[in-house]
Structure 1
Amino acid sequence: MINIPKIKVGIVAVSRDCFPESLSVNRRKALVDAYKAKYDEADIYECPVCIVESEIHMVQALEDIKNAGCNALCVYLGNFGPEISETLLAKHFDGPKMFVAAAEESGDNLIQGRGDAYCGMLNASYNLKLRNVKAYIPEYPVGTAEECADMIHDFLPIARAVEGLQNLKIISFGPRPLNFLACNAPIKQLYNLGVEIEENSELDLFEAFNKHAGDERIPAVVKEMEEELGTGNKKPEILTKLAQYELTLKDWVEEHRGYRKYVTIAGKCWPAFQTQFGFVPCYVNSRLASQGIPVSCEVDIYGALSEFIGTVVSQDAVTLLDINNSVPADMYKSEIEGKFDYTHKDTFMAFHCGNTASSKICCGEMKYQVIMARTLPEEVTQGTLEGDIMPGDITFFRLQSTADNILRGYIANGEILPVATRSFGSIGIFAIPEMGRFYRHVLIEGGYPHHGAVAFGHHGKALYEVFKYIGVPVEEIGYNQPAGVKYPTENPWG
């Protein structure tokens, strides 16, 4: 996939000058060896210049990891550590950073071999707060070489998201559709996150599309689409226009990215889009998502932001779906009850017109958009990729600015059930433990719109750390509380 940061973590060991430096030297080597034995050694760089004991060492280490191309930092407390120098290192490093500490190694070596990094981590965290420096600290940040290697590996998706957001531009087209205030939100929080946004008219996009008529690259894109759709190519007559539109978007991205490395799109898709362009853009959106350029529907800017975060965390295609409809009682009883460990209220159906990547769809077919065709000629509503979304683990989540400019988000791990939906669009039957209560006391109470981003696999742990790192207050991160744990707004009498 394109449009995803590649992370290289510079590992810098630190040492308090009244502790044996050899502890940090040897423990750093053991950590690096442990990482290389289990993971891709290209993920990390061992700073060999010095063990940081002073501010001068800090400057030397900083220059070394920058010259090595590191865009993330791991400060490793091999012993107690120099709280000033190590936190200055984090302050002056422009990128995501984490702190981990070495556990003691043997009960037979607690005189010269005791490092006290367990204590040093407390002082490091205190100094980080004094300097207003954000850093990722794992749930239990003290460990053996092997455990710290796992912590660094867990840091990679967090670092990808932070690095990505610091270099992201969101390109939007057109105002939101009439009677569609749900996804409207202030863009101030985008700038607070370091994200740039370029807002364009739908007319600008239409002009660019028309200029791509007859583009010599169109036949090659049509061939790609034909190969991807296979027997699901039920509307071959629309592929040329879809290929023209895909090239329009890709060229726009390259011409308008400016100094930003990564781009996502908040696109317009109705009500005038179909009648003027002559198709719906859903399939093209699905193709770009599969390449790492997520495109949100209905000019949902924070939906596009959420999709991008999910893409860089999971390194996989994501989708944006409506939290759409309840599962009929007869369907639940015949196909879910007794077969899966979910109550009826744990289940729901999530849907969008056809924007989900073909790799995530069972037997996807190119069709027309049923809802739009109720009021428009069917031929201008063609371009949706439809089919049931493949069963498996998912994470439903969203990052959102409220109307009064507070950043908040929600995260819930769940799954798509292997149950036929009997419906249309890109759609699946989803199950999230305690979804009924989550729906009422997080989604409704929090004022979230109906769009939610879906990452394939369970990524709640990483997303939670991403949200914390980028500044979402922990009290503003909603998740599905287990049974017996009340939400603040939940009636204690039921």
Structure 2
Amino acid sequence: MFANIPEVKLGIIAVSRDCFPIALSTQRRQNIVSAYGEGLYECPITVENEADALKALDDVKAHGVNALVVFLGNFGPETPETILCQKFDGPTMYVAAAEGDGDMINGRGDAYCGVLNCSYNLGMRHLKAYLPEYPVGTAQECADMIREFVPIARAIIGVKNLKIITFGPRPQDFFACNAPIKGLYELGVEVEENSELDLLVAYKAHAGDKRIPEVVADMQKEMGERTYPDLLERMAQFELTLLDWAEQHKGARQYVAFADKCWPAFPEQFGFEPCYVNSRLASRGIPVACEVDIYGALSEYIGACITGDAITLLDINNSVPQYIYDEDIAGKFDYDIKDTFMGFHCGNTPSCKMCDGCAVKYQLIQNRLLENGGTPDFTRGTLEGDIAPGAITFYRLQCDSEGNLRSYIAQGEVLPVATRSFGGIGVFAIPEMGRFYRHVLIQKRYPHHGAVAFAHCGKALFEVLKYFGVSDIAYNQPKSLPYPTENPFQ
């Protein structure tokens, strides 16, 4: 696991209503632990009352537990079981025992009923907890549900302990990346906003850093000859600048993400484009969002926590030309042309998520703008090539102009289709993307940036966003389920 991502230490506490046999909850808890295997700490205290709850909490804290499973082995005591959530400093999950492992007189636990009262009491206390879609199961089913809780808990812990560090204001005419930070504070995220000059001063202070040769060697190992040798020291110096800034400025937080202004002033002043360095940090679980996209950085970080893998941030960029669709997609993949689009950024996607042959190149658009289309100099430094095919989840958590958190999630894939284009780019396919593009992305005024996780992780993402209180979680709805703004007379 990345050093910038939390390590989840699970613990389970069983609760028992005192008019039911305590042995029922205790044995059922033991069965779950046996079914789960290593990695689940079993609290030996079965909670019947408030005093038990406090003792159990002291026990799990002493054993380093940072994500708690409360198990209703029978009906459960309403006050103690909700106090566990109230006083535990971390995400809490509730699961309950299905019947069938004993007789239906002395061996019936009624946990199916107990979950209803538990949920009611959590609501009265305004407590957040994770409950699976169907939170009642056998020992093996509960163990499986607990495994699904791990990435959810990891994201919750990470966001709670996250600081997003920014450099510079949003670029002109990129107002879509400018969103109220109110939503960050509501989620418990800290933000530190700095000037580009602060970053430039810190960068210059790293000139001659004795660690530069080691970073250069690592870049050479990663890219071989597919880079500009004369840029490596400058890029290594910048990488060390960001890593040191993160360590020195995270303050009371444990984890960091960046949102940096990368144009138009950056390349000329620093002498290169920052994209390749940004990709290297992203490959280590430290997102660096382009164009000071704070919510893009947050979205990326959540995805990194859930998947434990590298992520990226891309523009929902351009349509797939008809000739590419006809040559490489039609008849080979079950997608309409409107289901496809190209995701692009200048070169921030980690090399581990790119096709073989990706290389450090120059930013064509910036070269036109800043170097009059001449021989590239300071516009070099992007990581370019086609993005590797495979499963993806395209998603974003955003604070709208009125300060409300909203989000979308869409699962799909990167197709094994050559883009014939520049930048870090891929041909994406998402079922019903055309309708999703119109009635979610456009209709709800989302910016052009979307986070990309390289796996189908929509289920965990949905639960994390729901836990954070995001009520508007959009997705790519099938044709059988029209959007509210979709014209029914097409």
TM range (shorter): over 0.9
1:288 aligns with 2:281: yes
Q: Secondary structure at the match of 1:374?
A: helix
Equivalent residue for 1:415? 413
Mapped partners of 1:179, 1:123: distance in 2: 52
Equivalent residue for 1:87? 82
Mapped partners of 1:2, 1:353: distance in 2: 26
Q: Secondary structure at the match of 1:395?
A: strand
Q: Secondary structure at the match of 1:231?
A: coil
Report the Cα offset of residue 270 of structure 1: 0.1
Equivalent residue for 1:223? 217
Mapped partners of 1:119, 1:412: distance in 2: 35
Report the Cα offset of residue 259 of structure 1: 1.2
Among candidates 300, 308, 328, match of residue 321 of structure 2: 328
1:274 aligns with 2:267: yes
Equivalent residue for 1:181? 175
Asked if the contact 1:161–1:309 (Cα under 8 Å) also holds between the matched residues in 2, the reply is yes
Mapped partners of 1:89, 1:336: distance in 2: 53
Asked if the contact 1:99–1:137 (Cα under 8 Å) also holds between the matched residues in 2, the reply is yes
1:97 aligns with 2:97: no
Q: How do residues 63-462 of structure 1 correspond to structure 2 at under 5 angstroms?
A: 63-106=58-101, 109-233=103-227, 235-362=228-355, 363-377=357-371, 378-462=376-460
Among candidates 462, 482, 485, match of residue 481 of structure 2: 485
Q: Secondary structure at the match of 1:379?
A: coil
Q: Secondary structure at the match of 1:219?
A: helix
Equivalent residue for 2:23? 22
Mapped partners of 1:246, 1:321: distance in 2: 21
Mapped partners of 2:85, 2:305: distance in 1: 23
Give the aligned residue type for 2:115.
M
Mapped partners of 1:149, 1:367: distance in 2: 48
Give a deviation string over 1:126-146, Cα, whole Å, max 9, x none. 111111110010001000000
Report the Cα offset of residue 485 of structure 1: 0.7
Give a deviation string over 1:238-288, Cα, whole Å, max 9, x none. 111000000000010011010110000001100100111111000000000
Asked if the contact 1:266–1:298 (Cα under 8 Å) also holds between the matched residues in 2, the reply is yes
Give the aligned residue type for 2:79.
I
Mapped partners of 1:88, 1:159: distance in 2: 19
Q: Which runs of 5+ in 2 are unaligned?
A: none
Mapped partners of 2:310, 2:401: distance in 1: 29
Equivalent residue for 1:11? 12
Report the Cα offset of residue 231 of structure 1: 3.5
Q: How do residues 38-57 of structure 1 correspond to structure 2 at under 5 angstroms?
A: 41-42=38-39, 44-48=40-44, 50-57=45-52
What percent of counterpart residues are identical?
65
Mapped partners of 2:189, 2:174: distance in 1: 24
RMSD (CA atoms): 0.8
Give a deviation string over 1:17-39, Cα, whole Å, max 9, x none. 00011110110000000000xxx
Report the Cα offset of residue 125 of structure 1: 0.7
Higher deviation after alignment, 375-384 or 454-463: 375-384
Mapped partners of 1:166, 1:274: distance in 2: 34
Q: Normalising by structure 2, report the TM-score.
A: 0.98
Give a deviation string over 1:210-258, Cα, whole Å, max 9, x none. 111111111110110001002322x111111000000000010011010
Mapped partners of 1:366, 1:254: distance in 2: 27
Report the Cα offset of residue 83 of structure 1: 1.0
Asked if the contact 1:2–1:293 (Cα under 8 Å) also holds between the matched residues in 2, the reply is no
Give a deviation string over 1:143-170, Cα, whole Å, max 9, x none. 0000000000000111001100110000
Mapped partners of 1:72, 1:227: distance in 2: 38
Give the aligned residue type for 1:99.
Y
Mapped partners of 1:482, 1:77: distance in 2: 37
Report the Cα offset of residue 484 of structure 1: 1.7
Q: Secondary structure at the match of 1:232?
A: coil
Q: Secondary structure at the match of 1:23?
A: helix
Asked if the contact 1:34–1:145 (Cα under 8 Å) also holds between the matched residues in 2, the reply is yes
Give a deviation string over 1:165-197, Cα, whole Å, max 9, x none. 110000000001112101110001101111000
Q: Secondary structure at the match of 2:70?
A: strand
Flag as ranges the 4+ runs of structure 1 deviating above 6 A.
Answer: none
Give a deviation string over 1:330-382, Cα, whole Å, max 9, x none. 11011101100001100000000000001001121010001111122220100
Mapped partners of 1:8, 1:256: distance in 2: 26
Report the Cα offset of residue 206 of structure 1: 0.3
Q: Secondary structure at the match of 1:298?
A: helix
Give the aligned residue type for 2:460.
A
